[in-house]
Structure 1
């Protein structure tokens, strides 16, 4: 499982112009089975994506399609972790 932390590196006006395309990317990301949860950081400094993927390389390849990345609007830090405890509703999703 992965936590992806996005940090905006361009002004919010530029981020906002790409927001609809970013959300369309996320819809496809979830449909492809990568997305678990995502949202804005409080303070609008970036975002967070909780994801699952067969490998870090597969996740990185998928994130290359994100308009925020394509347009150079955000920096992506990827943290891989092994869940040792999850909510029962996530059984089968992360275990």
Structure 2
């Protein structure tokens, strides 16, 4: 599992101009089963995405395909972790060491 932390690198008006494209990109990732949660940080200086996958390089390519990243309005910090304990709702994503 991966935590993708977005930090805005441009003013909010540039971020907002790309928001519809970013949301469409997120919707496609939800439909593909890669993204399981996402949202804005508070204060609004970026966002957080929880993604599932076994291949860090694939997650890095995915992040680079986000319109926010492609247009240079955010930077991604990607943290991989092994989700060995989850809520029952996230049981399909539990991992073994």
Fold match, TM over 0.5? Answer: yes
**Following the alignment from structure 2 to structure 1, what is the Cα–Cα distance between the partners of residues 29 and 63?**
9
Instruction: Give the alignment of 1:1-95 within 5 angstroms.
Output: 1-95=1-95
Structure 1: tracts of 5 or more residues without a match: none
Contact 1:5 1:78 in 2 (8 A): yes
**Aligned-residue RMSD, C-alpha:** 1.0
**Following the alignment from structure 1 to structure 2, what is the Cα–Cα distance between the partners of residues 29 and 54?**
15
Structure 2: tracts of 5 or more residues without a match: none
1:30-61 deviations in Å (ceiling 9; x for gaps): 11111010000011100000001130011111
SS of 2:83's partner is coil
Contact 1:52 1:94 in 2 (8 A): no
Report the count of equivalent residues: 95
Instruction: Answer 1 or 2: which has greater helix percent.
Output: 2
